[in-house]
Amino acid sequence: MRVSIEQWKQLFGQIAEQIEVKKDELSELDRAVGDGDHGVTMSLGWQAIVEHLSQHSGQDCGALCKDMGMTFLNAVGSSVGPLYATAFMRGGAALQGKQELEEEDIVQFWLTAIRGIQDRGKAQVGDKTMMDAWLPSMEALETARKEGKHLIESFELAVNAAEAGMQSTAQMLSQKGRSSRLGDRSVGHIDPGAASAYLIIDTFTNGLKQL
């Protein structure tokens, strides 16, 4: 599989669409453990990306992703802004100068992007954050590729791991951010950041299948 820059834009546009569809659900999850604005925050960031994608005329996939990172950061003031901005910028560095992406480029974009989030936020599995979805997802993706599985199957396994990770957060005691102040009251609720992480990788994978 080869992915053009226009197809790459399309994939991220589809993510933005799904964030918009699910933003109220994400905010509802956040009302249980935070300040109730996760869906709105993600919507602001992704809608800004959509606007940028519509205006972008360059052919460098890496430069596009770095621009997306700055766009997200400028649109989102909360803690999630720097995290996803770092993801796009780190992932973009892995694609620098590429006008067309091969399968391994796509894999490396995600692995590098999520390492960027972890480097910036320092969260681990078990902290009840987005990383409870992202880290198992990327581990599954990397393992599948090392085992020689094809791209779509590898991403499907990554989606399954992200979903399991997301669901696992319901039983966790929050260790990071505003929700950590709730103590035992944070147990019983899915982390909204993990939910949006699952939504992102699931939508991306569905988009890949349609290319």
Residue 7, Cβ neighbours under 10 Å: how many? 16
**% of the chain exceeding 70 in pLDDT:** 94
The dihedrals phi and psi of 2, each to the nearest 5 degrees, come to: -120, 140
Residues 112-135: tens digit of each pLDDT: 999 999 999 999 999 999 999 999
Q: Which residue has the tokens 């997306």?
A: 68
Q: What is the pLDDT, as a whole number, of residue 179?
A: 52
Q: What is the pLDDT, as a whole number, of residue 28?
A: 94
Average of per-residue pLDDT across 96-122: 97
199 within 8 A of 159, measured Cβ to Cβ:
no
pTM: 0.94
**Residue 3: beta bridge partners?**
101
Residues 25-57: tens digit of each pLDDT: 999 999 887 788 999 999 999 999 999 999 999
Calculate the average pLDDT of the chain. 93
Q: What is the pLDDT, as a whole number, of residue 187?
A: 72
